[in-house]
Amino acid sequence: MICLRPVTLVCQLQTLEHLNNCYQEPKIMSNIPAELLYTDSHEWLADNGDGTVTVGITHHAQELLGDIVFVEAADVGRNLDAGEEYTVIESVKAASDSYSPIAGEIIAFNEALEDAPETVNEDPYIEGWIMKLKLADDADLTVLLSAEAYTDVVTGED
């Protein structure tokens, strides 16, 4: 990583701290579970092994959003195409659409999020899941990213 911060008197006085901040190795993404699948738009998917999947947003996404204050209920029974918007997540910073990583029918919404949307911040991969889908016949899980490929997306590597 190259630091483009101009050298100023403050920077010169804090040279060691500046060097440490500018030239650290990138952090390894420890919050990307290997057993999940991902999209480059920061949704995760867990294959439940019975023709259904659980979907949520990644740790990285919730960090970017900040404190989540509202998760719009996904419409149970609705059929989604891959990439179709299924909910809106509001935070203190912004509102953001979430997109279905795969085609299928919404069979469940995490109703606990209605009273405690901050659960997505606290535990995005277990308690903070958003919806469950019954996979469409033509659903293709192979188009999703592995944890390693998603790590490259998050860190900007190819």
**Domains defined for the chain, CATH in brackets:** 1-30 (no CATH), 37-155 (2.40.50.100)
- CA–CA gap between residue 143 and residue 82 (Å, rounded): 10
Tokens of 25: 């190795």
* Per-residue pLDDT at 156: 86
Predicted TM-score (pTM) of the model is 0.79
DSSP character string of 33-52: -TTSEE-TTSEEEEE-SSSE
Is 67:117 a contact under the CB 8 Å cutoff? no
pLDDT per position as a tens digit, 111-154: 999 999 999 999 999 999 999 999 999 889 999 999 999 999 99
What percent of the chain clears pLDDT 90, i.e. is strictly above it?
A: 75
Residue 138, pLDDT score: 85
Whether the pLDDT of residue 1 is over 60: the answer is: no
DSSP states along 71-115: EPPP-TT-EE-TT-EEEEEEESS-EEEEE-SS-EEEEEE-THHHH
Question: What is the model's pLDDT at position 29?
Answer: 52
pLDDT tens per residue across span 22-55: 333 334 456 899 999 999 999 999 999 999 999 9
Identify the CA nearest to 37 among candidates 154, 157, 151, 147. Answer: 147
Predicted confidence (pLDDT) per residue in 2-22, tens digit: 333 333 333 333 433 433 443
Q: Is the pLDDT of residue 91 over 70?
A: yes
Q: Residue 157's pLDDT band (boundaries 50, 70, 90)?
A: confident
The one-letter code for the residue type at 107 is I
